[in-house]
Every structure is written in structure tokens, then in C-alpha cells.
Amino acid sequence: MTPHAMFTAFSTIVIREVRRFTRIWPQTLLPPAVTMTLYFIIFGNLIGSRIGQMGGFDYMSFIVPGLIMMAVITSSYANVVSSFFSMKFQRSIEELLVSPVPNWVILTGYVVGGMARGLGIGLIVTLVSLAFTQLSIHNLPMMILTVFLTSALFALGGFINAMLATKFDDISIVPTFILTPLTYLGGVFYSIDLLPGFWQGVSMINPILYMVNGFRYGILGVSDVNPFISLGMILFFITVLAVIALKMLERGKGIRH
């Protein structure tokens, strides 16, 4: 395929992904907005006013970056895992397999589709948060870079999950039993300074901690970890997952007999 043809194939995949999640917007775009509004009201307003300051900021301002990141992570992952698995389930994945689209274009198309939903949700949640607090941005490039790379990383995670899944249960196990606990323990609602030394050490092996803090640094200028280490960690995980996903596509894991 020529580079122009590859770009057409790539944009076809992205457009199809965007068309899919906008067509079913009550399932994809609305729920995170409602959930995050409840988080802002309950944790930010009601409970947050009794907690006082965290990391030098009022509690509402402290949790906003984490909640935005939580929505981005969940949505990027969910978009790719459900879309790709549904294509496997309906066998419409064969439309791609018989075509000359290179594997890396397929992967990039799905990842960008997942990022489109994740970042779209991130924007919606940010707009909702403005109704509860004022956001001042400390480091815009860091904020944008962190959120884009995190979205890409979890879209890749969703892709691998979908490749390995053989039934619908398999696509909910990782989000429920791995992603959600890691996100909640990733410093969304608290600074790890509050934890005893041992648990601070344990928290440092949670990759989501780096993403939440990198993003928080971009907005508030405070972080439990060095923001550049955060970026390095995200890039490292992206590379590892992208190599795994491409190997799986090459071998046709779960999609070719």
C-alpha cells in the first residue's frame, strides 16, 4: 500500500470508531459525565469541605485532575476493548484481515479511536468540573502530553485484552479487578504522603500513580513523583504494550485459526 492509501485506511478505522461511540452516546459519553458529577458533589463538595487541604490545595481542586484522568483511562480502555471484541464476536474483523491494511495501521487506528473517546470524555469531565471549581493550568505541555500518552497506553491495553478475550466476561475482568483498584489506589483521592512508608513504596509500583501525578503536576504544579519520571514510565509501558499487540496481530492471536 502507498503511504496515502495507508492514511486512508487509518482514517477509515478512526472514523468508524468515532461513528460507533457517538452513535451510542447514551452508553459511552453520558455515563462518565453523570458519574464524575456525583464524585464532584459527594467527594468534592460534601466530604471535601470537611477534609480541608491536600497537597496545598482545597480537596476539590486536588481531586479534579485525578478524576479527569480516571475518566480518560476508563473510556480509552473501554472503547477499544468493546469495539474490537465486538468485531471479533460478529466476525466483522475479517473485513480488516482480508484487506491489505498493515497491522501497525490497524493498531494505530484503534488506539486513536480509543483516544478520541477517552480525550472527549476528559474534555466533558473538565467542563463539568468547572461548575465546581476553578482550574488554573501550571504546565500546559506537561498536562497535554500526559493525558494523550495515558489515553494511548490504556487504548493499547484494551486492544490486548480484546485480542485475548474469548467471551464477553473476559472484557470486563481486567477493568473490574485490575483497572479500577489500581486507579482508586493511584492517588486520585489522596496524596501518598498520607500513607505509611511501606505502602508508599507499594504505591510506587502502581503505574497509574505516575499518570495521575503527572497530570496533576500539569494542572496544579504538585506531584508525589517527578513528572518527567511519570512521562518516562508511560512511554516505556506504551512501547512494551505496542510490541506485544503487534506480535499478537502478526500471529493472529484469537483472530486467525
Partner 1 sequence: MTNALEIEGLTKIYGDGFEALKGIDLHVAEGDFFALLGPNGAGKSTTLGIVCSLVNKTAGKVRVFGSDIDTHLSDAKLNLGVVPQEFNFNQFEKVFDIVTTQAGYYGIPLKQASVSAEKYLKKLGLWDKRNTPARMLSGGMKRRLMIARALVHEPKLLILDEPTAGVDIELRRSMWIFLEEMNRQGTTIILTTHYLEEAEALCRNIAIIDHGKILKHTSKKALLQQLSLETFVLDTEVPLDAAPELGDFHTRLDGEGALEVEVQKGQGLNQVFVQLDQLGIKVISMRTKANRLEELFIRMVEENAVDSSKSVEGAA
Instruction: Summarize as ranges the residues that interact with partner 1 (CB under 8 A).
Output: 1-2, 4-6, 8-9, 11-13, 15-16, 19, 23, 86-87, 90-92, 94-102, 251-252, 256-257
Between 84 and 215, name the residue whose CB sits nearer to partner 1: 84
Other beta carbons less than 10 A from residue 79's beta carbon: 29
Spatial distance between the Cα atoms of 247 and 228, rounded to a whole number of angstroms: 29
Place of cell 488506539: 111
SS3 252: coil
DSSP letter string, 138-190: S-HHHHHHHHHHHHHHHHHHHHHHHHH--STTHHHHHIIIIIHHHHHTTTSSS
Query: Considering only CA atoms, which of 228, 220, 215 is closest in space to residue 55?
Result: 220
Nearer to partner 1 among residue 153 and residue 162 (C-beta):
162
Nearer to partner 1, 18 or 204 (CB): 18
Q: Say which residues have a Cβ less than 8 Å from residue 65's Cβ, sequence separation at least 6.
A: 212, 215, 216, 218, 219, 220
Cβ closer to partner 1: 25 or 228? 25
Task: Name which of 194 and 251 has its Cβ closer to partner 1.
Answer: 251
Q: Smallest distance, Å, CB 128 to partner 1?
A: 29
Are 223 and 69 in contact by the 8 Å Cβ rule? The answer is: no
